[in-house]
Amino acid sequence: MVAVLRNRTYRHLFTAQVVALVGTGLATVALSLLAYRIAGEDASAVLGTALAIKMIAYVGIAPVLGATADRIPRRAVMVAMDLTRAGVALALPFADRVWQIYVLIFLLQSASAAFTPTFQATIPEVLPAERDYTQALSMTRIAYDLESLFSPALAAALLTVVTYNWLFIGTAAGFLASAALVVSAVLPRPKPVERAGGLYGKAAFGTRLYWATPRLRALLALDLVVASAGAIVFVNTVVIVQGHFHKPPGFVSLALGAYGVGSILAALLLPPVLRRLGDRAVMLPAAFALPGVLAAVAAVTSAGTGAPSWTALLAAWAAIGAACSAVLTPAGRVIRRSAGDADLPAAFAAQFSLSHSCWLLTYPLAGWLAAGAGLPITAVVLGVVALAAALAATVLWPRQDPASLGHVHHDLPADHPHLADARRTADGWSHGHDFVIDALHARWPRPVERMAGRV
């Protein structure tokens, strides 16, 4: 898997991602302590609102900034966003009002909403071979999981010798190091895209691409499956561990670590499995596994608090991590085959925005249900949502999903360059090629068009 690191550009970009992730992890810990200093016992409300602001920024900002991706060099975008995030991190220690935290968090997450899709859209162009790109996706998944395990431990070690404000300095240093690494990499130039409707048309294209492409509609349903299972892990772990099992705070990290270990193991195993089976055959079974695991979580949280139940919870968290990784890791492959090179920034921006819309739904659902109806009911409801979304994904994603599709053009002139290999039929000009939604293909071909378009 590490063979892809021989590519100098990818090696610099991957290292930039890792150091930025570590910086973000330090900021998460420092922000919690800052919120407690300012708001005291209301710190949970402050952090909850900050999380909502983060999701709003992700959902609203990514498509807009993705619409300008063809006008600005990608290196300039990523460096500017890293510098913005570093500046916000340096400003956070000086915040002494709750509203100031909210404003700074919005700026920080808006910069992340521009950086991450740009980074994601660059990697398939840096690593055009499918095998290399698949390995890069697995490495990215592992990097996220290791960060969730490493950053809290690093923050705890640093807090033994410095105050929490210094963690923000570490965060800024991570973003500055990321910017330096991006500057040192030679990145592909963005491909200009002409699209009707100006900036709004470009911003809306990614979402339209999702609605028009069957496998991307299925991917959005799979995002909801992952968000349903992941929400109970990230929102309710502390309640389950301390409230239900009456374990000390350190066991919260143990439970979250089990989730991370499951995710890492799955990411390590995925590249050869994906080569053999393909995306659909891996992602759909993993999605259907999650409702079953959530049913087990409902049973565990309804049972006693002895050692067998605790072991079962750790196993369930590891299973959720593995299944979520099996759904999320191949997502980049699905997006890559569903958009032209010039439209990859818009496609990844739409994925970033729409997937976080799912989390914006399931995060509060997991919290409110746990507080009002209890943990078993929460697991059952989220399991039902996950099952419904998995069924929808199965229906939406055709079992036979070839890249090349025959189709008919009704509105292109006979001398259009795109019709060089087409043949005249009663309905228009018919041909076949690797099909994606773009300026020349506004909708997915119907079965009758595919028959007519066979060449």
For the chain, 455 residues long, the average pLDDT of each consecutive 10-residue run is 83 91 83 78 68 81 65 85 94 89 90 86 87 89 81 76 86 94 83 54 74 94 96 85 80 84 92 92 97 95 82 94 95 90 82 88 86 89 97 94 85 85 84 85 72 49
- Distance of alpha carbon 355 from alpha carbon 219, whole angstroms: 9
User: Which residue ranges make up each domain of the chain?
Assistant: 1-133+151-184, 404-452
Q: What is the pLDDT of residue 44?
A: 57
Task: Tell me the pTM.
Answer: 0.83
Q: What is the pLDDT of residue 455?
A: 43
- Distance of alpha carbon 117 from alpha carbon 127, whole angstroms: 16
Which DSSP string do the residues of 179-246 spell out, in sequence order?
HHHHHTS--PPPPP---TTHHHHHHHHHHHHHHH-HHHHHHHHHHHHHHHHHHHHHHHHHIIIIIIS-
Q: Which residue has the tokens 């970009």?
A: 13
CA torsion 39→40→41→45, rounded to 10°? 30
DSSP state of 436: -
Q: What is the pLDDT of residue 97?
A: 87
- Distance of alpha carbon 57 from alpha carbon 197, whole angstroms: 23
Q: What is the pLDDT of residue 217?
A: 95
The topology (CATH level 3) of 1-133+151-184 is Growth Hormone; Chain: A; (1.20.1250)
Which DSSP string do the residues of 135-161 spell out, in sequence order?
HHHHHHHHHHHHHHHHHHHHHHHHHTT
CA distances from 401 to 125, 255, 440 (A): 23, 38, 20
Distance of CA 272 to the CA centre of its chain: 22
Q: Which token pair is 145?
A: 């999981």
Q: What is the pLDDT of residue 207?
A: 82
CA torsion 15→101→164→27, rounded to 10°? -20
